Structure 1
Amino acid sequence: MKNKFIVILIFFLAFILRFWLLGSNPPSLDWDEASLGYNAYSILKTGRDEYGNFFPLSIKSFNDYKPPLYTYLSILPIAIFGLNEFSTRMVSAILGTFSVLIGFFLIKKIFRDKSNLFYYLFMFFFAISPWHIQFSRTAFESNISLFFILTGLWLFFKGLDTGYYLLLSFIFFAFSIYAYHSPRLVVPLLIIGMFCIYFPEIRQKKVWFLTGVITFLVLVLPIYSQLHGQTVARLGSVSVVNPDEKLGASIRDIEYDQSREDVLGKLVHNRRIIYAKEILGGYLDHFNFDFLFLTGDSPGRHHASGMGMLYLWDSLFIIIGIILYLNQLNRFQSIVIWWFLLAPAASSLASGTPHAVRALLMLPLFQVFAALGILGIFHYLTHRMNRKVKFSVLIIIFSLLMFNFYYYLHMYWWHTPKEFSQWWQYGYKELVTEVSKVESSYDKIVITYRYDQPYIYFLFYKPIDPLWYQEISEKGPIVRANRSFGKFEFRNLDWGKDSQLSNVLLVGTPDEIPQETSGIIKNIYFLDGKVAFRLVGR
């Protein structure tokens, strides 16, 4: 009963940290959240996404072809609570909370020889993880994919004891592939690693394992069959193996070496070596100290102001934990190192590393190592130090933990909304409200595209009837200037020309509309006090 009470208490803490004022902080929906929410609303009302695609296997959105699962899971909360920030983020918060519990059960399966204290430490660290809280309070598809992967792993280990859980395991692995892009590479490699590591156990449950593999392949075949055409073009646009200035420099180096009759120059400057260096560099970026403990990645939507992805105090315990893990490594626990090395693989193939979204699968392992580190220190103090020293060191560790935790909460709730509001596209909800008040007075409303994707906020916050929008929406590739509908036109302003228009409401940035302009109806501000939009009537 005592053990269950501790688990329930930590689970409740995880729930509070992920649900408290969920619709208010982060301070605004970013455009991906708004797109996920509106497409779920559109499918709820019509069975089709914003483009009129019937129950699609990928959400076209901004031509980035989002995996569909988050959108479909959001249909129920949007049906119950309406189309708003809370309902759009609810799926992530729910599955993020349950990830903490599933992680607890999973670690008990992998580390069967550890004390309950280790399991509780892991669960507690997972519950208060800044990285995980940040992603659970936002409609991040990677966050729900983490839940499905953790559940798949937990069911896999249960399946080594009771075979039919293997089938369920592969079903959850398949769900993860419908949730986010990264698992499409990582999960098959993870399964291959598990097959190699646990072959003696799998051989005894081979019927259930083969049934699970076949089920997995059948379930994921539709999503993999869509990896062509524009979807591949989208993936290629963020890939490091794309022609760029580095490849151009490589060609110039080869030409220079050839002019000097250096026969090895073509080998040294081969594009494959250039790509390999880029991939390796991107991979190692995810273990960068600044990224993990000090500054996080860019943009500011992925972490709290003044924070890395993890607590600074984690760093020492993670290092100790890794050392202890490697010293005590056995076959059954070797999945951890395979998982740890594999987690950033998909992210390393894309530009913009390190990337907290694509590498989220790393997160639980840092909690594992931190728990191992603290447990190792506790055992050392118990056997090597007197009670007074042991008590003093534990007080210091606890104080560091509480200070870091308080610092994170302070920065997350008080400073991050103000400092990072622009990263969250703050101001669009207020803009839609103000425009709606006066739109009947104008023949046309021109809204700047300077902050990208303004149309989705008008679809979301008005909200626009999906059936009507599907009928007037253009089919084909998204072109920024062509996302207009009704009297709304979305494009960057040319003040010299647009200021001469009549019976038009112009919405622009301070760079587009001068402060001294006459006819300013309203200024909309970011939370740091800077002007986000100016509304001018003509």
Structure 2
Amino acid sequence: MTKTAKILLLLTLVLAFVLRVWKLGDNPPSLDWDEASLGYNAYSILKTGRDEYGNFLPMSIRSFNDYKPPLYTYLALPAVAVFGLNELSVRLPSAVFGFLAVISCFYLVRLMNPQNIKLALLTAFFLSISPWHIQFSRIAFEANLALSLYILAITLFLKSLKSGIFYPFSALVFALSIYSYHSPRLIIPIVVLGLVLLYFKRVTGKLPWFLTFVVLLFVTAFPVIKEINRSTGARFSSVSVVNPDEKLGASIAAMEFDRLRGEPFGKILHNRRLVFGREILAGYLDHFNFDFLFLTGDPPGRHHAAGMGMLYVTDLPLILLGIVFLALNFKKKAFRLILLLFFAAPLASSLTTGTPHAVRAIFYLPVYQIIAALGLIRVSKKSYFKYVFCLLLIINFLYYLHQYYVHTPVEYASSWQYGYKEAVYESEKHYGSVDKIIVTYRYDQPYIYFLFYNRTDPAWYQSLWRGYAIKRAERQYDKYEFRNINWEQDSQMKNALLIGTPEEIPDNAPGITREIFFPDGTIAFRIVKRI
């Protein structure tokens, strides 16, 4: 690698690091409930060796009965130990692994195409400024960790083709990705099989090392395989598109309609397998939606900057050119590998509801960046295009930064459950003077914020629930009760603090101690003290 290439790589990595850690604790403007849950469970394991439910070193984090994969929680332990339980410590592992993904991405492309250093540098640069990647590198979502490990594992696999000693490391990192998030549990077996078929001669040329890879991957992943029926199964059943109760009503009605009319093919044409197949195909194709990719993103405001898609608009022509180039050069193994990763990326997401889904489809990265880099290289011989593209990219990038740091914290604050931190601190001021603190459930999962920001003693909290089933709603502990507020009844309470929404507590309610506002000036919470 030339000195110029080293300097460009260093500058890219500095940019990637700054974009992922700058004001990490302040933006996004609040922890969402999943982040708070990961953080408190890390705190609980750090203090007691058990999660909030009292499970010793759990293989899945029960959380809100969605059973999160455990690796992110364990990786957050050092940051929580050093920095305390706060927004920065919870998000720091994601930022670090997001930065490492840029490094892995560079070496992945180098191994795919050793002669083209420009392709590797461009891909790393595009990933470093990717809105999709920055978004999830700055929040404590397990998917970003899984993606970083996934990229590294593939990189190590390609390295193993030259030196078999890297096979065990690839297996271990693939297994860690499986421990990180649900989607890799489907994607990784398909990608590994594709890698073996694509590089079959080179794999079998180092057969003992590859067999070590297979055995080690199975052994290390086996504990999580045992958990699949309980953890992944529970999560999958809640988001699966293959849901008979929701999807088969129309099919059954159509078959009955055909039966009454003597139509012989009704059972075939309206078969449940065809129904589910159409749903899965529709979900898969949703991920190629241009609005999702380039204009609006998916509906949750937590998944993208305001007014932005998952990719830059300037990426579109480059991606189209890159895809054409890949198709025309399909015989090259490196390009077939890119297409394998591209088409495998949305497989897990397509089996779920709410497609396209930016979190579950994050495994598109860095494939889109590789394809865009290929597209740029193919046309960059025309210098005027390079200048035009660079100008448009700079404008697009500056627009993204403006949207992310100025507009998003205001426009999407409610999506981040903004206001809970302030509500917890306000409740603490009145804790000693009331017998009961009622907190609305309108925004979902309020209890986790009170555990998090109060830094509730995990051993004490676990002892309250030992031997008892914990309900998601109407949870109670100590003075706290989490449920929706019925003002007509609850206004009659004595020695109580009510924390509710403006829809639940009227603006003329007596005893209002504070109103907590979203950044746009609308009311998030009204807090009333009944004496």
User: What TM-score do you get using the length of structure 1 for normalisation?
Assistant: 0.96
Q: In the aligned structure 1, how far is the partner of 2:184 from the partner of 2:396?
A: 32
Q: State the shift of 1:478 in Å.
A: 4.1
SS in 1 for 2:508: coil
> 1:50-81, CA deviations, whole angstroms, 9 ceiling, x for partnerless residues?
00000000000000000000000000011011
Structure 1 equivalent of residue 253 of structure 2: 252
- Displacement of 1:476: 5.8
Q: Does 1:479 align with 2:471?
A: yes
The match for 2:102 is 100
CA contact (8 A) 2:66 2:234 kept: no
Gaps of 5+ in 1: 382-389
Work out which of the residue numbers 461, 468, 475 in structure 1 matches 2:460.
468
What is the aligned length? Answer: 527
Query: Distance between the aligned counterparts of 1:377 and 1:344, measured in 2?
Result: 28
Counterpart CA distance in 1 for 2:472 and 2:105 is 42
CA distance in 2, matches of 1:229, 1:84: 30
Comparing 239-248 with 527-536, greater Cα deviation is found at 239-248
Question: Residue 15 of structure 1: CA displacement?
Answer: 0.1
With over 3 angstroms needed to count, the CA separation of the structure-2 counterparts of 1:63 and 1:93, relative to structure 1, is same
The residue aligned with 1:403 is 395
1:237 corresponds to which residue? 238
| Aligned partner (choices 426, 429, 454) of residue 437 of structure 1 | 429
1:410-437 CA-to-partner distances (Å, cap 9, x unmatched) read 0000000000000000000111111111
The residue aligned with 2:285 is 284
* Structure 2 counterparts to residues 108-123 of structure 1, below 5 A: 108-114=110-116, 116-123=117-124
Deviation at 1:230, TM superposition (A): 6.2
Q: 1:33 aligns with which of 24, 32, 35?
A: 35
Residues 1:190 and 2:191 are matched in the alignment: yes
CA distance in structure 2 between the partners assigned to 1:332 and 1:394 by the alignment: 25
CA 475–148 in structure 1, closer or farther in 2 if over 3 Å, else same: farther
Q: 1:151 and 1:200 mapped to 2: Cα distance?
A: 22
Name the counterpart of 1:384: none
The equivalent of 2:407 in structure 1 is 415
> How many Å separate the matches in 1 of 2:345 and 2:473?
38
Change (3 A) 1:398 1:229: closer
- Answering whether residue 303 of structure 2 is matched by residue 302 of structure 1, we say yes
Cα distance change, pair 477–284 in 1 and its aligned pair in 2 (3 A): farther
Is the partner of 1:536 in helix, strand or coil?
strand
Secondary structure of 1:422's counterpart equals helix
Give the letter aligned to residue 503 of structure 1.
Answer: N
Matched, 1:358 2:335: no
Instruction: Name the counterpart of 1:387.
Output: none
Separation in 2, partners of 1:185, 1:30: 26
8 Å CA contact retained: 1:444, 1:503: yes
- Counterpart check, 1:454 vs 2:419: no
Q: Identify the match of residue 523 of structure 1 among 515, 519, 528.
A: 515
Corresponding residue number in structure 1 for 2:213: 212
Q: Over aligned residues, Cα RMSD in angstroms?
A: 1.1
Q: CA deviation at 1:361?
A: 0.6
The percent identity for this pair of structures is 53
**What's the TM-score once normalised by structure 2's chain length?**
0.98
| Partner residue, 1:178 | 179
The 3-state SS of whatever aligns with 2:437 is strand
SS at match of 1:446: strand
Q: Deviations over 1:467-515 (max 9, x none)?
A: 1001012556542345321000001111111111111111110111111
Change (3 A) 1:131 1:475: farther
Q: Deviations over 1:433-480 (max 9, x none)?
A: 111111111000000000000000011001100010010125565423
Q: Tell me the residue number matched to 1:490.
A: 482
- Equivalent residue, structure 2, for 1:343: 345
3-state SS of 2:528 partner: strand
Alpha-carbon separation, structure 1, partners of 2:335 and 2:473:
54
SS where residue 521 of structure 1 aligns? strand
Q: Which amino acid aligns with 1:426?
A: Y
Where do residues 36-185 of structure 1 align in structure 2 (5 Å cutoff)? Answer: 36-114=38-116, 116-185=117-186
Q: 1:232 to 1:515 in 2, by over 3 A?
A: same
**Partner residue of 1:385?**
none
User: Which residue of the partner structure matches residue 24 of structure 1?
Assistant: 26
| Structure 2 residue ranges without an equivalent (≥5) | none
Alpha-carbon shift at residue 229 of structure 1 (Å)? 4.1
